[in-house]
Amino acid sequence: MGRRNKAAEEEAQAIDLTPMLDVVFIMLIFFIVTASFIKEAGIEIDRPEATTAMLKKNANILIAVSSSNEVWIDKSRVDIRSVKGSIERLHAENPKGAVVIQADDDSNIETLTKVAEAAREAGVLDVSVSTEKK
């Protein structure tokens, strides 16, 4: 009889972890749904310096222009003629996102202008160029 009472006491004193696990899983789902995923452009570039650089908070569409004037979006090289379509696709995924062009210091201004024009034609009004603050 003593063994039964001892087993019943241990069972009554055990902590039920089910509610805690439910809360943890709900929090995990909440953070996954509300997370803002940053899409990298795909290459490392040497950005130009500027004294009037400002921080951009809602920059979700990153476009890189390399020193050899190659355009990179979402870790893949994109032809200059298909930049507008790529921006439209990314803008449809996140309508509030802004376009930030990360142009290399040695890149051509003509390529930078074509990318900015493609972003404007795709319907994105918030287009900026990434720089390094002095």
Q: What are the pLDDT digits (tens) for 74-102?
A: 888 999 999 999 999 988 888 888 888 88
Share of the chain above pLDDT 90, in %: 20
- In whole angstroms, how far apart are CA 3 and each of 9, 13, 14, 102? 10, 15, 17, 72
Whole-angstrom distance, CA of residue 70 vs CA of residue 108: 10
Between 56 and 90, residue with greater pLDDT: 90
pLDDT surpassing 60 at residue 1: no
Closest among 62, 69, 10, 72 to 36, alpha carbons compared: 62
- Report whether 106 contacts 75 (CB < 8 A): no
- What tokens does 34 get? 């509300």
Sign for the pseudo-dihedral over CA of 55, 77, 109, 105: positive
Burial 91-123 (b: 16+ CB within 10 A, else e): beeeeebbbbbbbbeebeeebbebbbebbeebe
Note the pTM of the prediction, 2 decimals: 0.61
